[in-house]
Amino acid sequence: MPRRIALVEDDATIRQNYAEALARAGYEVQAFADRPQAMRSLSTRLPDLAIIDIGLGAEIDGGFTLCRELRALSATLPIIFLSARDSDFDIVSGLRLGADDYLTKDASLPHLLARIAALFRRVEAGREPAKDDERLVRGPLELDAARMTALWHGRPVDLTVTEFWMVRSLARHPGHVKDRDTLMRDAEMVVDDGTITSHVKRIRRKFQAVDPAFDAIETVYGMGYRWTERA
């Protein structure tokens, strides 16, 4: 049985393009143009994943409202924000509301599909035994690529898919400087330098919430970032 994805997007052309691409990827797509319509349908039967635009027609922040409402219905439903907005403020607001990832509309369809797949893997992985080759352990850091989960000193760090990939890219080769382009590629992002910076900042903050002494991600100005392991 195919997974059901709810797509809430007010622009008809984008909606159709995305819906068709998702359908081609083997998902069952329910497309909605506005929040009330989406809420009416989704509240009766929750989808397996929701892709939501922030600005929905007349509702400037309709996507945020919808995200809150869906989160109230289900704590585990994967939600991806897809928006033309790219300000840190919107990203932070979206993630704080419990979205699992945030993409700007610059992202290509393959990028979007990679994220969707990753989120499904994360949901799925909980039910399957962990495979060793997908586990990465660097000192106190444990990454499980199958489950898309990160542990720091055994405590879970709640990373989005994008952030998980960035941490994985850095931690795979400790001491090596990863420039922004590499990070972007590894995290399947189409963003500019500034967004990488704010992503790294958010990752640090999430680790610091677990361990205030966290300083494993080092900024190498002009080049990028580096995962450092202390002896």
Partner 1 sequence: MGASFPHGIRFRLLLASLVLLAIPALAAQFINRMETFLRAAQEQDIAVTARAVASALSDRNALFPPSGTVALDPEDEERRRIVGLFAAADPEAAASLGTAYAPSEEIERFLDIMGRRASRLWVVDTRSRVRGLSGSLREPPAQRAESSRAAIASWLKPVVSLVVSSPEVPAGDESKPVRSQIDRALIGVSSTHWRGTRDREAAILSAAQPIFVGDDIVGAVVVEETTASILLLRQSALENLIALTLAVCLAAFAILLFFASRLATRIRRLHTEAEAAIDGQGRIRGAIAPTGARDEIGDLERTMAAMLGRLRDYNAWLEQMASRLSHELRTPVAVVRSSLDNLRSQSPDGEARVYLDRAEEGVERLSRLISRLSEGTRLEKMLESAEREPFDLAAVVGGCVEGYRGAYPGRAFDFEPPGGPVPMHGVPDAIAQLLDKLVENALDFAPAGSAIRIGLAADGRAARLSVANDGPPIQAEMLPRLFDAMVTARAEGVGRGGHLGLGLAIVRLVAEYHGGSARAINLPGGSGAHFEVTLPSGGSRHPG
Q: Where along the sequence are the contacts to partner 1 (CB under 8 A)?
A: 11, 13-14, 17-18, 20-21, 24, 84-89, 104-106, 108-110, 179, 190-194, 197-198, 219-224
Q: Are 167 and 150 in contact (CB under 8 A)?
A: yes
Helix, strand, coil % (nearest 5) of the chain? 45, 20, 35
User: Which one, of 163, 120, 118, 177, lies nearest residue 145 by Cα?
Assistant: 118
Strands of the 49-52 sheet, one edge to the other: 28-32, 4-8, 49-52, 79-83, 101-104
**What is the number of H-type helices and E-type strands within the chain?**
8, 12
Min dist. Cβ of residue 158 to partner 1 (A)? 21
Considering the complex, state which of residue 13 and residue 44 has its C-beta at the smaller distance from partner 1: 13
* Shortest Cβ 64–partner 1 spacing (Å): 16
Smallest gap from residue 106 Cβ to partner 1 (A):
5
Question: Shortest Cβ distance from residue 11 to partner 1 (Å)?
Answer: 6
CB 14 within 8 A of CB 33: no
Kindly tell me which of 65 and 197 has the beta carbon lying closer to partner 1: 197
Pick the closest to residue 97 from 47, 62, 58 (CA basis): 62
Q: What is the H or E stretch that residue 177 is in?
A: strand 177-179
CB of 6 to partner 1, least distance (A): 17
Nearer to partner 1, 60 or 72 (CB): 60
Could you give the CA distance from residue 159 to residue 202 in angstroms, rounded to a whole number? 9
Q: How far is the CB of 124 from partner 1 (least distance, A)?
A: 24
